[in-house]
């Protein structure tokens, strides 16, 4: 079985409505490894992960944004 990898430039995850739309699409695409680029978030905590993932036990790591650009989240 090959893992399904999703890489997406989300252009910011600051708004809850955008996170809910991203969550809906990620659920539809059913990826095993997800890389979200350009999150534009300096800090990502468990609440943000819960708003993006339907899986309660998802592992994640991130690189914070530098000013108003950048930021990577891998789940």
* 25-51 tens-digit pLDDT: 999 999 999 999 999 999 999 999 999
Query: What is the pLDDT at residue 56?
Result: 81
Angle at 38 between CA 36 and CA 44, to 5 degrees: 70
Tell me if 38 is assigned to a ligand binding site.
yes
Q: Is 15 helix (H, G, I), strand (E, B) or coil?
A: coil
Q: Is 14 annotated as a binding residue?
A: no
Query: How big is the CA angle at 44 (ends 22 and 32), to the nearest 5 degrees?
Result: 50
Section 16-26 average pLDDT: 95
pLDDT at 4 over 90: yes
């Amino acid at each position: 079985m090959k893992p399904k990898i999703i890489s997406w430039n989300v252009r910011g995850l600051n708004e809850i409505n955008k996170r809910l739309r991203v969550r809906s699409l990620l659920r539809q695409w059913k990826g095993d490894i997800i890389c979200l680029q350009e999150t534009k978030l300096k800090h990502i905590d468990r609440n943000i992960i819960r708003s993006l993932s339907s899986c309660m036990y998802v592992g994640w790591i991130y690189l914070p944004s530098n000013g108003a650009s950048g930021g990577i989240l891998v789940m």
